[in-house]
Amino acid sequence: MVLKANDDASAREFPEQWYDFASEDHFWMEWRAKVLREHLRRLGLDPMAALSAFDIGCGHGAVQRQLTRSTAWIVDGCDLNDEAIARNAGHRGRTLNYNIFDKSPELRGRYDVVFLLDVIEHVKDPVAFLNAAAYYLKPTGVVVINVPSVPSLTSAYDKIVGHLRRYTKSSLRKDVSDAGLETIRITYWGISLLPVLALRKLLMSFTRPENIIARGFNPPGRSTDKILRMAMTAELAVTHDVPLGTSLMAVARRRIGLPNRDVR
pLDDT number for residue 7: 39
For residue range 61-86, list pLDDT tens digits in order.
999 999 999 999 999 999 999 999 99
- Calpha distance 155→251 (Å, rounded): 27
pLDDT number for residue 261: 47
Question: At 77, which helix (H) or strand (E)?
Answer: strand 74-79
Q: What is the mean pLDDT of the chain?
A: 92
C-beta pairs of 168-177 under 8 Å, 24+ apart in sequence: 168/248, 169/248, 172/145, 172/147, 172/248, 172/250, 173/250, 175/120, 175/126, 175/127, 175/130, 176/130, 176/145, 176/250, 176/252
| For range 165-185, the mean pLDDT | 98
For residue range 205-261, list pLDDT tens digits in order.
999 999 999 999 999 999 999 999 999 999 999 988 999 999 999 999 998 654 444
177 or 15: which carries more pLDDT confidence?
177
- Say yes or no to pLDDT of 6 above 80: no
Give burial (CB, 10 Å; 0-12/13-18/19+) of 122. Answer: buried
- Calpha distance 102→125 (Å, rounded): 16
| For range 84-97, the mean pLDDT | 96
Domain boundaries along the sequence of the chain: 17-253
Weakest mean pLDDT among 52-61, 123-132, 177-186, 253-262: 253-262
86 or 7: which carries more pLDDT confidence?
86
pLDDT number for residue 8: 42
**DSSP codes of every residue in 197-263:** HHHHHHHHTTS-GGGHHHHHHS-SSHHHHHHHHHHHHHHHHH-S-BS--SEEEEEEEEPTT------
Indicate the CATH number for domain 17-253. 3.40.50.150
| For range 104-128, the mean pLDDT | 98
Q: Which residues make Cβ contacts (< 8 Å) with residue 132, sequence separation at least 6?
A: 100, 101, 103, 264
- Say yes or no to pLDDT of 4 above 60: no
- Say yes or no to pLDDT of 10 above 50: no
55 or 255: which carries more pLDDT confidence?
55
pLDDT number for residue 257: 53
- Calpha distance 250→144 (Å, rounded): 6
- Say yes or no to pLDDT of 163 above 70: yes
- 9 pLDDT band (50/70/90 cuts)? very low
For residue range 16-47, list pLDDT tens digits in order.
889 999 999 999 999 999 999 999 999 999 99
How far from 236 is each of 31, 34, 46, 116, 249, CA to CA, in Å?
9, 8, 21, 22, 14
pLDDT number for residue 3: 36
pLDDT number for residue 255: 82
130 CB-side CA count, 13 A: 31
Query: What percent of the chain is modeled with pLDDT above 90?
Result: 89
